[in-house]
Amino acid sequence: MANASGTSLVWFRQDLRLHDQPALLAAMAGGARVLAVYVLDDTIAWPAGGASRWWLHSSLASLGAALRQAGAGLVLRRGRSTEIIPALAREAGAGVVHAGIGHEPGWRTADAEVARLLAADGRALALHRTASLIDFDAVRSKTGTVYGMYTPFARAVEELGEPGRPEPAPVAIKPAKAVASDRLEDWDLLPTHPDWAGGFRATWTPGEAAAASRLAQFVGGAVARYGTGRNLPGEDGTSMLSPHLHFGELSPRAVWHASRVEGEGRDHHTYRRELIWRDFSAYLLWHHPTLPEAPLRPAFARLASRTDPDGLRAWQRGLTGVPIVDAGMRQLWQTGWMHNRVRMIAASFLVKHLLIAWQEGAAFFWDTLVDADLASNSASWQWIAGTGIDSQPFFRVFNPVTQGEKFDADGGYVRRFVPELARLPDKYVHAPWTAPAAVLAEAGVTLGGNYPRPVVDLNEGRNRALDVYRRTVREAAA
Ligand SMILES: Cc1cc2nc3c(=O)[nH]c(=O)nc-3n(C[C@H](O)[C@H](O)[C@H](O)COP(=O)(O)OP(=O)(O)OC[C@H]3O[C@@H](n4cnc5c(N)ncnc54)[C@H](O)[C@@H]3O)c2cc1C
């Protein structure tokens, strides 16, 4: 796009990196001066939750440092993007604003408004694909419909061939004339009283450089065992790249190509299939903007969920009395992340055994996950609740005891996050209520004392959920 003024604005959002950053490269094209901007916009639907804010602080600090090293800076502003971006473009004399495509409905609305305001001022908004492998409008079934099922979607994506190779980071960026910036510290993104982020700091280093080293470590090791390792929450079997990918510190095609190695096996392919799941979720959100709020299968809008504040609080705090669920919820609380297998078990327990609406669980995850992603979170909750298009059938209810015994056979994961059960023998660690009194006493466990009894009888909870789901489906068909 023409850049008559010699200055371009690059508007960073969920692409906080310099490598493989098409919006940045387009802004630099033709030797233009670059004004790099990030806007903290809490007026957009689904503003970042607490854990995401913690991550964002360091990610912006890291991006700012990388931009300064390349010769430019990062301008920080807080407020409405629809006001700030057009005003900054005018102040800097930028002819074009370059940004990554925002696939969330709030960003799509904002982008349309920013484009309109820029055009009225003789400027333009240019959007680039920075956060996904595919163009969401280009992938359609043979009859032109939007895919609702993952498997044919993934096949169609694979038929497009390999994604393009990632571009290296620019070494030198010509800075635009200086404009005023907020101070990152003044945004109060980090917790102070209480400081709940100690476990976050011990687990994560946000930023592009740390993302690249985590990727290198994963593709040099665990990816080769990913097929089995990814289901074992007690092991480091997955990449833990989700927050880096969400904030765009890594481009998905950089991850794709890094996992493409000489003589690779099935595990590498299985891993890349997860990257396609990520695009599938974003594709669903792109084509169904109500995904975060409403069930994709309208029949389930009438599902009679329970209001159960005590049950919800027990779930949130990891005090349900069901060890694998509690371990997952405490991992989430301590580290801002939960293993995928346990996300499925904990989410299923909430929506099936407790029969609490999936939106309640999604909202809690939104606030507590460092990788909280509107597309992946909403699509995954709908998948578990059975309300999506490509969901597990509603009558599939994860049994948290057998899941725990299968995927955390030695109880190592439960013992790590639920230390009050650490001394229970393996046989009982996933179902302490089945242990004889003497075994509990020997392990120092008092049910209803230092560890709760289950908040719901697992069989009763399961049957209650199946009754309600069946009734909903029957009534919808009548
Ligand atoms: C109830 C529920 C809520 C979830 N909420 C989120 C969320 O807010 N943000 C998020 O990024 N993921 C979410 N997931 C998906 C998945 O649990 C995480 O992406 C995964 O655990 C991240 O760990 P990892 O990076 O080690 O994954 P890996 O196994 O190493 O996978 C590599 C990458 O593929 C993507 N990916 C993997 N599994 C999925 C999936 N099922 N759906 C979409 N993308 C996937 C992620 O970007 C991940 O980083 C949710 C899953 C469930 C069941």
pLDDT tens over the chain, length 478 residues: 444 449 999 999 999 999 999 999 999 999 999 999 999 999 999 999 999 999 999 999 999 999 999 999 999 999 999 999 999 999 999 999 999 999 999 999 999 999 999 999 999 999 999 999 999 999 999 999 999 999 999 999 999 999 999 999 999 999 999 999 999 999 999 998 899 999 999 999 999 999 999 999 999 999 999 999 999 999 999 999 999 999 999 999 999 999 998 889 899 999 999 999 999 999 999 999 999 999 999 889 889 999 999 999 999 999 999 999 999 999 999 999 999 999 999 999 999 999 999 999 999 999 999 999 999 999 999 999 999 887 678 888 999 999 999 999 999 999 999 999 999 999 999 999 999 999 999 999 999 999 999 999 999 999 999 999 999 988 888 8
Architecture of the domain defined by 298-472: Orthogonal Bundle (1.10)
Query: Which CATH code is given to the segment(s) 7-130?
Result: 3.40.50.620
Which of 105, 159, 163 lies closest to 129, judged by CA?
163
Q: How far is the CA of 231 from the centre of ligand 1 (A)?
A: 12
Task: Write out the residue limits of the CATH 1.25.40.80 domain(s) in the chain.
Answer: 132-164+209-287
Residue closest by Cα to atom 43 of ligand 1: 278
Q: Is the CB of 240 under 6 A from ligand 1?
A: yes
Q: How far is the CA of 384 from the centre of ligand 1 (A)?
A: 13
Q: How far is the CA of 59 from the centre of ligand 1 (A)?
A: 19
Task: Write out the residue limits of the CATH 1.10.579.10 domain(s) in the chain.
Answer: 298-472
- Index of the ligand 1 atom closest to the CA of residue 246: 11
- Index of the ligand 1 atom closest to the CA of residue 274: 34
Task: Write out the residue limits of the CATH 3.40.50.620 domain(s) in the chain.
Answer: 7-130
- What pairs with residue 175 in β-bridges? 34
Q: Are 351 and 261 in contact (CB under 8 A)?
A: no
Q: Are 336 and 204 in contact (CB under 8 A)?
A: yes
pLDDT of 227 reads: 96
Testing ligand 1's pocket by substitution, the residue of 339, 371, 373, 398 carrying the most ligand atoms inside 8 A of its CB is 371
Is 132-164+209-287 in CATH node 1.10.10.10?
no
Q: How far is the CA of 376 from the centre of ligand 1 (A)?
A: 7
Q: Is the CB of 39 under 6 A from ligand 1?
A: no
Q: Is the CB of 278 under 6 A from ligand 1?
A: yes
Residue closest by Cα to atom 21 of ligand 1: 340
Q: Is the CB of 274 under 6 A from ligand 1?
A: yes
